[in-house]
A and B are shown apart, each in its own frame.
Chain A
């Protein structure tokens, strides 16, 4: 089975340009997460969706960032306009429906990441 698919794997752009990162979650998973990883701040949750609906976007740094999930098999994270401080590795992760009994453990499955460099 394919894991979480992210594209592009690497993106180099200039300050002020729009950047769109893409994610295809594992089939059957109903939760999707966007994370950002930097040396300074570690792993940060930006936003997560459940059944295509944004549940918590409190980690989105500012209005320049937006995320959508138009259907169960696709999500985008857009930065407009991009700035050098947005340079990071952006990960998408998905998780399956929570088990009905006992709460479950909600394992998240991560994609390979998109390394973004904003010059």
Chain B
């Protein structure tokens, strides 16, 4: 089956620290991979995505590279800001048949000034 496993939170960092949130997946077929972000009181927003192996998604200083050999899609940012505090969800979509996103459990990130 298809599943996503994320680094357990919560994660607390100081401003300007380096961020990594690990994500690994299991999938049948060839999934697209996503990171969504949920700010307090809001719905999920797409942060970045990658559709095939070795693709790098990037947005707002965040990056993630689709690694087929390690079935991973780790999220990184070189220097976090207080405004990055949110819950981050890794997700996969297998583009065959049903159009279903499978989400990880989410990682809560808190950035202290």
Chain A interface residues toward B at CB < 8 A: 4, 31, 33, 42-43, 45, 48, 50, 55-56, 91, 93, 95, 98, 103-113
B103 close to chain A: CB less than 8 A:
yes
Whether B100 contacts A56 by the Cβ 8 Å rule is yes
Chain A: CB-nearest residue to B104: A42
Whether A106 contacts B43 by the Cβ 8 Å rule is no
Which of B36, B44, B99, B101 contacts A50 (CB under 8 A)?
B99
Whether A110 contacts B44 by the Cβ 8 Å rule is yes
Count of chain A to chain B residue pairs whose CB atoms are closer than 8 Å in the complex = 55
Which of A4, A48, A110, A113 contacts B99 (CB under 8 A)?
A48
The B23-55 residues at the A interface (CB cut-off 8 A) are 32, 34, 36, 41-46, 49, 51
- Residues on the A chain within 8 Å of B36, using CB: 110
- Residues on the A chain within 8 Å of B88, using CB: none
Which of B32, B44, B103, B106 contacts A106 (CB under 8 A)?
B32
Chain B: CB-nearest residue to A89: B43
Given known A-B contacts A43-B89, A110-B45, A112-B43, A55 and B95 have beta carbons under 8 A apart: no
Chain A: CB-nearest residue to B45: A110
- Residues on the B chain within 8 Å of A104, using CB: 95
- Residues on the B chain within 8 Å of A93, using CB: 43-44
- Residues on the B chain within 8 Å of A43, using CB: 44, 89, 103, 106
